[in-house]
Structure 1
Amino acid sequence: NAIAPAVTRTEMTQEILDRAEGELRLDDYTDRTPLGRIAETEEQADVVAFLASRRAAYVTGQIVAVDGGWLASDGFLTHGEAQG
């Protein structure tokens, strides 16, 4: 099993996003994520912990998207469009 994480707030990504221009701006990610924000590290870690636990004993060979809905929306809708 594995996770497919989206952009996640870390010291490294925050530095990159703070100084980025154009396509790498934070707003570009949050506007195109149905949840309207980037992930926190704990949110990614919680899914990893679940997959490593006994509660996921029957889950096998899966890649779990932990992406705030990005994959489900193809990343083409802005947050406002996804909200309807």
Structure 2
Amino acid sequence: MKPAYKPVLCVVSSHPIKGASGVPTGFFLAELTHPLKVLEDAGIKTTIASIRGGQPPVDGFDLSDPVNAWYWNETDFQ
């Protein structure tokens, strides 16, 4: 019998700028996509949220990484 896992809430940054510095920031795509893949491959439901809601700022991604590329091009992920 397969264990029943509770859904996982993945929270990402919604801050596009580091304080008063003016330096852009956000979340690194692989910090989200790689855990998502493991969770989803295990059949665990996931939800992504940001503190303020809306589109969270991505600050760094590598589309030569196949996991990143798959999620980046997945319409449901966008």
State the TM-score, normalizing by the size of structure 1. 0.28
* Highest RCO, 1 vs 2 (Cα 8 Å, sep ≥ 6): 1
State the TM-score, normalizing by the size of structure 2. 0.29
Greater share of helix: 1
